[in-house]
Amino acid sequence: SDASKIWENSPVSATIIRRFLEFFGCGAKMASAATNILYRDFKIPMKDYYSIDISPDRHVKKVFKRTGLISKYAKPEEIIYLARELYPEYPGVFDLACYEIGVEWCRLKNPLCQECYLNKICSKN
């Protein structure tokens, strides 16, 4: 009945993710995303952040593809492992930025490339 027990005593990120996985219907993507939100938005202290993965949704995939980080046919697992490779200490760091870029500028139709932070390295231009 006390949600704060999930992150009690500042455990390692894998422990928090595992605790979320104990909830019926919560899969790995949701558990990692929830743990990322706890750290990023609520500043919940953890001993590490390396188990917090990126969520390979359509926006993340689009941004990674257009910047040349992945191929057009990359599987979600490739995106996760690329984020781990790029920043092993906290692969989830890319999640919110890619989501926001994907929603605000990197649209499928009528992208706002000139306003995007990544326009100099984007293959869309």
CA angle (93 as vertex; 49, 110 as ends), nearest 5: 160
Measure CA of the first residue to CA of the last residue in the chain; give whole Å.
Answer: 51
- High-pLDDT (> 90) share of the chain, %: 90
- High-pLDDT (> 70) share of the chain, %: 99
Q: Residue 64 above 80 pLDDT?
A: yes
Kindly report the pTM of this predicted structure: 0.89
Report d(CA 39, CA 22) in Å as an integer: 19
> 25 — alpha (psi -120 to 50), left (phi > 0) or beta?
left
Q: Residue 10 above 90 pLDDT?
A: yes
pLDDT at 125: 59
Q: Are 55 and 102 in contact (CB under 8 A)?
A: no
